[in-house]
Chains A and B, each alone.
Chain A
Amino acid sequence: MTTSRFAPGTFTPAPGRGRLGRMLAAHARVETALTLRHGEQILLTLLIPLALLIGLSLLDVLPAGEFAGMERVDWITPRILALAVLSSAFTGQAIALGFDRRYGVLKRLSATALPRWLLVAGRLVAALVVVTLQVLVLGAVAALLGWSPSAAGIAFGVVLLAVGTLCFGALGVLLGGALRAEAVLALANIVWFVLLLAGGILMVPSALPDTYATVVGLLPSGALAEGLHAALVDGTFSAGACAVLAAWTVVAAAIATRTTKLT
């Protein structure tokens, strides 16, 4: 056996686990880069919300009664931000995870020294980075359209966006980690569409029949949209919305730790 290409000692064992911070950063960086490079993800996470933001701000298609005298862009922007979170943290995340599992990446990574919790943490950090970029782009476009959020509520809005991202991220991992890639793809898109139209993002609970309004307010989509509305329009913190999101996060994470499969 010749070893000409490899000097003796090249592979002398020196095993050990990498530093946690470095592993988390490396994992989150790859996850973020993959999301930003993926055309369909950009369409879902940025182009559709942008089109809705611009279209609904400029065109007179929503019933005027909902605005109660405010600018359309002020009414629509918090809801578009909620949609952005739903799109990337949930739908995009679930689909990516479904296909990553098929390509064996979870198995590959869980065979390294990367702890299991870090596999999820890296994805959630990446989701937070992507949501930050979405909010910056959508916020800038909304500002050009005349958006003037409540200054007092911006910090509340940031908190809700972070909690909302973790919540939808956990739900995305729950869906993407449990089913076959094709099933994940179909279901994640259906859920996106249903929550957009009937889950409290474009339809306001107060405009709906009472029972249905209560249900929508307890959905993560309804809670996030109403919470962002309260923060960015009224400048108030909706503890109720935050509690609903936190509860969904805990439940989804607890189930996902049992159901998520590597392949």
Chain B
Amino acid sequence: MTESAPARATRTPRRHAVPLTFVNAAAVEITGLVKRFGSVTAVDGLDLKMPTGEILALLGPNGAGKTTTVEICEGFRHADAGTVRVLGLDPARDGSALRPRVGVMPQGGGAYPGVRAEEMLRLVAACAADPLDPAWMLDVLGLGTARRTPFKRLSGGQQQRLSLACALIGRPELVFLDEPTAGMDPQARRLVWELLGALRTDGVSVLLTTHLMEEAEALADDVVIVDDGTVIAQGSPGALTAEHAEDAHLRFRARPGLDTRLLAAALPEGYVVRESTPGSYRVIGHVDPQVVSTVTSWCAQQGVLADELHVGRRDLEEVFLELTGRELRT
């Protein structure tokens, strides 16, 4: 803002080029974001750029700084350092210009305890100039029968769907969804995924947080993996899982009960061999033709046939494990 504020005030043409390109480039752009709570640094130099019209997933374990980052983008919290631009605006200063354009689904929803589902959605709809039809929205999200149910008596999944409806009802150009499918059954989760696909088709930008790998892989154009308040990897799900594709794994089937320690000893140092289920083996490490040959010839020496030999691509779960040394779901 220190760059663009004087440009706006003086209308110097030569300075316009920078902020205008900047405005058009990204739905969300975060540079060097820092947020501390007392002695705890929740966000620690986070950078992120989200192009307009795409779905970006912030993926990471609880406490990684995802919600704090999103709440700064929504204008609920102020950054200690760094810059945040949402649709080219500063959420801390330009909130009243920004809020009509942005749909927000806060973590855990938000409604009057005694308000009826339809009442709440109609109230939020009244805040928008050209909202979607609340009755249609409730039906489509499977809340048609819960229309008159007080918020506190809705199930967790129903509260989440109402909250999602509130985020979308005003036809926003950008939505922030904090753990949108938390507490939902698989059927409702599918519905939400389908809905997010429709949003992308219609050119709505979506920034969501999740700790579900499958959600990020199924939905997102871009995945940003966050841990300890900083970005540890980012890219499309395909790119992230292919990045070290040679570090894939080799799976094969054979007679149960082979001595995996002997096989590991036959391989170069650093390889891990596991019998994940009886008769199903997995070799983890750098898989090249030499390794495949070693495995098959070792099996032949044992008098067994290595069957269904398969070199697998990693999924995001493995990417995360490798980057952090920890399981995502803890």
Residue contact B96 to A115, C-beta cutoff 8 Å: yes
Task: State in angstroms the CA–CA spacing of A25 and B199 once bound together.
Answer: 30
Chain A, interface size category, equals: 35 or more
Number of B residues whose C-beta is below 8 Å from A? 51
Task: State in angstroms the CA–CA spacing of A77 and B114 once bound together.
Answer: 32
Residue contact A11 to B204, C-beta cutoff 8 Å: yes
Task: State in angstroms the CA–CA spacing of A1 and B199 once bound together.
Answer: 11
Residue of B nearest to A6 (CB): B198
Task: State in angstroms the CA–CA spacing of A113 and B1 once bound together.
Answer: 23
Residue of B nearest to A99 (CB): B113
Residue contact A15 to B171, C-beta cutoff 8 Å: yes
Task: State in angstroms the CA–CA spacing of A104 and B106 once bound together.
Answer: 9
A247 within 8 A of B: no
> Within residues 121 to 161 of chain B, which ones have a CB less than 8 A from any CB in chain A?
122-124, 126-132, 140, 151-152
> Within residues 1 to 20 of chain A, which ones have a CB less than 8 A from any CB in chain B?
1-6, 8-19
Q: How far is the CB of A136 from chain B (nearest CB, A)?
A: 24
Task: State in angstroms the CA–CA spacing of A159 and B47 once bound together.
Answer: 56
Task: Give the segment of B29-37, B97-105, B179-187 that binds chain A.
Answer: B97-105
B6 within 8 A of A: no
Which residue of A11, A17, A100, A112 is within 8 Å of B124 (Cβ)? A112
Q: How far is the CB of A155 from chain B (nearest CB, A)?
A: 34
B317 within 8 A of A: no
Task: State in angstroms the CA–CA spacing of A33 and B150 once bound together.
Answer: 12
Residue of B nearest to A13 (CB): B173
Residue contact B126 to A18, C-beta cutoff 8 Å: yes
B194 within 8 A of A: yes
Residue contact A10 to B198, C-beta cutoff 8 Å: yes
Residue of B nearest to A262 (CB): B76
Instruction: Pick the most buried of A11, A25, A99: most chain B CB atoms within 10 A of its CB.
Output: A11
Residue of A nearest to B105 (CB): A111
Contact with A along B173-199 (1 / 0, CB 8 A): 100000000000000000101110111
Residue of B nearest to A122 (CB): B123
Residue contact A17 to B127, C-beta cutoff 8 Å: yes
Which residue of B114, B173, B195 is within 8 Å of A38 (Cβ)? B114
B201 within 8 A of A: yes
Task: State in angstroms the CA–CA spacing of A17 and B106 once bound together.
Answer: 20
Q: How far is the CB of A185 from chain B (nearest CB, A)?
A: 13
Residue contact A103 to B112, C-beta cutoff 8 Å: yes
Residue of A nearest to B109 (CB): A104
Residue contact A15 to B114, C-beta cutoff 8 Å: no
> Within residues 88 to 134 of chain A, which ones have a CB less than 8 A from any CB in chain B?
99-100, 103-105, 107-109, 111-115
Q: How far is the CB of B214 from chain A (nearest CB, A)?
A: 14
Residue of B nearest to A103 (CB): B113
A residues with CB within 8 A of B? 1-6, 8-19, 22-23, 25-27, 30, 33-34, 37-38, 99-100, 103-105, 107-109, 111-115, 262
Could you name 15 residue pairs across A and B whose Cβ atoms are closer than 8 Å?
A3-B201, A8-B201, A10-B202, A11-B171, A11-B199, A12-B203, A13-B202, A16-B130, A16-B170, A26-B122, A103-B113, A103-B151, A109-B110, A111-B99, A113-B127
B residues with CB within 8 A of A? 74, 76, 96, 99-102, 104, 106, 108-115, 119-120, 122-124, 126-132, 140, 151-152, 163, 166, 168, 170-173, 191, 193-195, 197-204
